[in-house]
Structure 1
């Protein structure tokens, strides 16, 4: 058994993470960041939950770029093929559930 304090976790670099679980090839990781990620498409589905802070999530549907501001407690679901990029507003702590080895 382990306890993870999402509100106080800090990595040594943006998007640094601690592994929480690997359940049959699906990973759950706690990330800390204060810098944007990169545009990407995951190998499978992704669940992205903001535990602390705010994140501007940009995503493309049918080639059109959209943006939404995720607050603490909000969850973003990226279906297979969803191109997206996360831009934290200040520091953010994020729980990500995705296929092992995904971008």
Structure 2
């Protein structure tokens, strides 16, 4: 039976980066996160797709040793490949859909 999610714009977790599991697809997890705080610098063991559903997020990443920042708004996506060091910094509250290998950071 299909699942209908109609509260993605109002979902709120009890802590920053708290998540609701949406689906598991062939070893990947799809989770809706709510946050109002930065995450931590990290490198995933597989690709990660980061979709801003609501809010604004400054995505910091390192390229050839230099830190770069791109600002993402609703509908924007950031794709981190294996070995891409990155960290998300929301500006206020944000809701983010994250698709990544199950058990990843």
| TM-score, L = length of structure 1 | 0.97
Select the residue among 44, 47, 57 that pairs with 1:45: 47
Q: Does 1:66 align with 2:65?
A: no
Q: Deviations over 1:43-72 (max 9, x none)?
A: 100000000000000000111100010001
Q: Which residue of structure 2 aligns with residue 3 of structure 1? A: 4
Task: Give 1:100 deviation, angstroms.
Answer: 0.3
Q: Does 1:29 align with 2:16?
A: no
Which consecutive unaligned segments of at least 5 residues does structure 2 have? Answer: none
Distance in structure 2 (CA, Å) of the matches to 1:61 and 1:69: 16
Q: Which residue of structure 2 aligns with residue 91 of structure 1? A: 93
Which consecutive unaligned segments of at least 5 residues does structure 1 have? Answer: none
| TM-score, L = length of structure 2 | 0.96
Task: Give 1:24 deviation, angstroms.
Answer: 1.4
Distance in structure 2 (CA, Å) of the matches to 1:12 and 1:95: 17
Name the Cα RMSD after superposition: 0.7
